[in-house]
Amino acid sequence: MSTEPAVSPRLALAPDARDSGDAVIDVTRLRVALARLSRRLRRHELAGLTPTQLAALATIGKTGPMRLGDLAAAEGIAPSTLTRLVTALEESGYVRRGADPSDARASTLTITAHGQDALERIRTETTLMLTASLELLTAEQRSALAAALPVLEQLAEAAPGAGAARPGAADGNSLLRLG
């Protein structure tokens, strides 16, 4: 029986990750921190939108007019959920449903001026909240965060499942050796 302390719930992606002296990322801590920050940024009083509705509205605002099926695929939403979501956005005046000029059987969604205004207000509110939080950090902490920003952007844009499963991933561990 091993006398080493358990590294639960972590995956040492390299067998010697804890003993090598290289920097180690605790992936569980990273995931929890990102999730908590994401929840804080989604807490807004404007527009009366759920996080799913807001994500869909932002997608329509970013991509321009889009078909319902394309929105469902982009957001990973089931058709029944999409119908309720689009109805709520329509009733709130955030999107307009129209006929698809290339297919009379399909509909397209377009963001309205009211929807665009709501997105801008929410973005402004969350930017101000995040700015206030960053002001609580030391200059060194802000520099470290600035240096990590390109990597965080890369992680955010990576396709789901793009990384191959790592050895030991099935045991729930989450240490990643750097170096």
- Give me the mean pLDDT over the 5-31 stretch: 59
Q: Which of 29, 38, 12, 28 is nearest to 156 (CA)?
A: 38
Rounded Cα–Cα distance for residues 1 and 4 (Å)? 9
Does residue 51 have a cis bond before it (omega within 30 degrees)?
no
Poorest-pLDDT segment among 94-108, 111-125, 162-176? 162-176
pLDDT at 6: 45
Residue 107: strand pairing partners: 99
User: Which residue type occupies 62?
Assistant: K
Q: Which of 115, 124, 106, 123 is nearest to 53 (CA)?
A: 115
Q: Where are the beta strands (DSSP E) in 101-147?
A: 103-111
Per the model's pLDDT, the better-predicted residue between 69 and 15 turns out to be 69
Poorest-pLDDT segment among 29-38, 123-132, 162-171? 162-171
pLDDT at 45: 63
Burial of 111 from C-beta contacts in 10 A (0-12 / 13-18 / 19+): buried
Are 149 and 99 within 8 A, CB to CB? no
Query: What CATH number is associated with residue 98?
Result: 1.10.10.10
pLDDT at 25: 82
Residue 85 lies in a domain: yes
Written as six digits, the tokens of 149 are 């920003």
Residue 100: strand pairing partners: 103
Residue 166 lies in a domain: no
Residue 171 lies in a domain: no
Report pTM: 0.67
Residue 179 lies in a domain: no
Residue 68 lies in a domain: yes
Could you read off the pLDDT of 33-86 as tens digits, one per residue?
988 988 888 776 666 788 889 999 999 999 999 999 999 999 999 988 998 999
Residue 135 lies in a domain: no
Whether 178 has a pLDDT exceeding 80, the answer reads no
Rounded Cα–Cα distance for residues 130 and 169 (Å)? 33
- Give me the mean pLDDT over the 141-152 stretch: 94
Calculate the average pLDDT of the chain.
80
Number of domains making up the chain: 1
User: Which residue type occupies 15?
Assistant: P
Q: State which residues form the domain around 107.
A: 51-116
- Give me the mean pLDDT over the 91-113 stretch: 91
Residue 66 lies in a domain: yes
Residue 99 lies in a domain: yes
